[in-house]
């Protein structure tokens, strides 16, 4: 039996007690931790963000429980350097500190980029949802970067059949990427924004709105066109051995969304 001394009292280490039910647990840990972290920023070096974090390890059948406090201790050790380059070390630390065969971590965070309006050049911060997802079993480390980018799409069919105008909508494009070498989140966001009819902005003046709507009208895109355009651009870079792309058009004149998905296998 494992014990420790706390204020001159012997306390049983309950988590390390044996469990006789002979059932392994694939993931056990902490979920929904709100935590400030620092991520790499292409323009400013680093960016402080408030993340939501899930951390898990496997639990062999003979242990009753895991030590939940150690997850937060590890997170505190790395809070100033959570990025693509340090993820492997974080996973390794989780396996070692929790005496586990496998470790899993998911970090979801808002990422802000300063954008200028296309005509007036008015500045504003644009939010993009990003996530780092990784797992390690000692012999293999798998790491994915997820990025969500809103774009504007104009319906090609609507433009074709209408004598004036065409309906448009905001489209949400979600990417998950495996990669060979380091890349900047900003570069992938630009790639996706170039794959729709137009970009989405936080701040637009009237001259900007005129420019954005007219430019989008000149480039109508189905949801199928969007995912194929993103896939073409990713394929040309040879840095992404696997990816998934999904796009959802939140329709403006239909009571449903249009959806498309591509996975590179």
Q: Which two tokens stand for residue 3?
A: 């014990």
Q: Which of 136, 151, 172 is nearest to 257 (CA)?
A: 172
Q: Is the pLDDT of residue 9 over 90?
A: no
The 10 Å CB-count burial string (b at 16+, else e) for 66-94 is beeebbeebbeebeeebbbeebeebbebb
- Name 193's Cβ contacts closer than 8 Å, sequence gap at least 6: 149, 151, 199, 200
Q: Is the pLDDT of residue 42 over 70?
A: yes
**Quick one: how many helices (H) and strands (E) in the chain?**
6, 11
What is the pLDDT, as a whole number, of residue 148? 98
- β-pairing, 9-12 vs 25-41, is unpaired
Query: Is there a shared CATH topology between the 1-139 domain and the 148-265 domain?
Result: yes
What is the pLDDT, as a whole number, of residue 1? 47
Average pLDDT value over all residues in the chain? 88
Q: Which of 224, 184, 222, 177 is nearest to 42 (CA)?
A: 184
Q: Among 3.20.20.10, 3.10.270.10, 3.40.50.300, 3.40.1190.20, what is the CATH number of 148-265?
A: 3.10.270.10
d(CA 179, CA 84): 10
Question: pTM for this structure?
Answer: 0.85
Superfamily assignment of 1-139 in CATH?
A: Urate Oxidase; (3.10.270.10)
Supply the Cα-derived Rg of the chain in whole angstroms: 23
Residue 252: pLDDT band (50, 70, 90) is confident
Q: How far is CA 74 from CA 40, 54, 96, 247, in A?
A: 19, 12, 11, 35
d(CA 127, CA 122): 16
Rounded mean pLDDT, 176-195: 96
Q: Which of 118, 107, 138 is nearest to 36 (CA)?
A: 107
Q: Which two tokens stand for residue 69?
A: 């406090």
71-98 pLDDT tens trace: 889 988 887 777 777 888 899 998 988 8
Ordered by start, the domain boundaries in the chain are 1-139, 148-265
What is the pLDDT, as a whole number, of residue 2? 54
CA geometry: angle at 243 spanning 81 and 87, to 5°?
A: 20
CA geometry: angle at 57 spanning 56 and 59, to 5°?
A: 130
């Amino acid at each position: 039996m494992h014990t420790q001394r706390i204020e001159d009292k012997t306390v049983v280490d309950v988590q390390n007690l044996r469990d006789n039910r002979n059932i392994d647990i694939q993931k056990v840990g902490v979920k929904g931790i709100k935590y400030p972290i620092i991520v790499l920023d292409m323009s400013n070096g680093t960016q402080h963000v408030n993340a939501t974090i899930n951390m898990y390890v496997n639990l062999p059948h003979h242990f009753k429980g895991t030590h939940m406090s150690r997850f937060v201790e590890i997170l505190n050790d790395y809070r100033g350097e959570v990025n693509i380059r340090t993820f492997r070390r974080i996973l390794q630390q989780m396996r070692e500190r929790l005496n586990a065969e496998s470790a899993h971590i998911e970090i979801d965070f808002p990422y802000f980029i300063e954008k200028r309006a296309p005509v007036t050049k008015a500045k504003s911060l644009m939010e993009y949802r990003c996530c780092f997802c990784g797992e390690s079993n000692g012999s293999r480390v798998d790491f994915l970067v997820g990025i969500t980018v809103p774009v504007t799409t104009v319906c090609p069919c609507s433009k074709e059949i209408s004598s004036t105008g065409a309906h448009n909508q905001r489209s949400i494009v979600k990417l998950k990427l495996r990669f060979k070498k380091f890349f900047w989140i900003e570069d992938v966001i630009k790639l996706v924004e170039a794959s729709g009819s137009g970009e989405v902005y936080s701040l637009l003046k009237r001259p900007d709105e005129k420019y954005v709507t007219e430019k989008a009208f000149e480039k109508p895109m189905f949801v199928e066109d969007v995912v194929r355009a993103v896939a073409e651009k990713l394929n040309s870079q040879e840095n992404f051995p696997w990816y998934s792309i999904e796009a959802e058009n939140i329709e403006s004149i239909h009571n449903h969304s249009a959806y498309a998905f591509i996975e590179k296998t």
